Amino acid sequence: MSARKPLLSRVPADFVRAVLKGHSALASVPVWTDELDYWRAVYSWLHVGFGAGYSGIGELTARLGTLSVHGIAPILLYALPASLFGWSYASIVILNSVWISLGALLYVLLCRPKALAGVLLGAGLVIYAPVILYCVTSMTELANYGLLLMYLALLARLYQSRHRARELPAKRRSLAGGIALLACTAVVLLCCAYRITYVVLWLPLLWI
C-alpha cells in the first residue's frame, strides 16, 4: 500500500476533476498565458531547435537566448519525451503525471515509507489545492512537485548514507553517498533552472 498510494494519487485527482466537469483530462487544451507559453516553447524547439525566433509574454523577451520568459525549463521538463512520443495539446498534462509518479516512485524506493506514511502522502497530494487546480492544465506545478519528491528522497538517502548506515563498509557508504549527492545535485540544478528561488535547496546539501 505504501508504494501504491503515492504513485496513484495523481490519477484519482484527474479522475475526480473529469467526473465533476464531465470531460476527460486528456482533452485538456492550454488556454492560460503561462500554459500557452510552456506549450509553445516545446513546440517551437521540436520544429526549429533553439533558433525559434521571438517568443514572449507581454512583449517581454529573455535577456539571453530565444526561449521567452520561462527560459529553458519547459525544454528540460518536456522536450525529450515530446521528441520521442509526439506533442499534443494534452502532452503536458500527461507528462506532469509522469513526473510526479517518478518522484513518488523514487521516494518509495529510497525511503521505504510505512503504510500509514504512504496513505498520508497520497491523500495529501489528492486534496492539496494546487494539485486539484492544476492537475488538468498545462501548468508546470505538478512537475515541480515531482522534482521536490525526488529531492526529498535523495536528501534522505544522502543523510542515511552519511549518518545512519554505520553497519555498512566504509567504501560502500562512500559510494552510496556519492551517488546520492550527484543525483541530488542534478535535481537541484533542474529545479533552479525551473525556478531560481530553489537555490535554497543547496543549503541542506551543504549542511548534511
pLDDT category at 122 given cuts 50, 70, 90 is confident
Q: What angle do CA 183, 185, 189 make, to 5 degrees?
A: 120
pLDDT in tens, 2-33: 444 444 445 555 555 565 666 677 778 898 98
pLDDT in tens, 22-66: 667 777 889 898 898 899 889 988 887 766 555 555 666 656 555
Given a contact cutoff of 8 angstroms between Cβ atoms, the answer to whether 96 and 143 are in contact is yes
Given a contact cutoff of 8 angstroms between Cβ atoms, the answer to whether 143 and 95 are in contact is yes
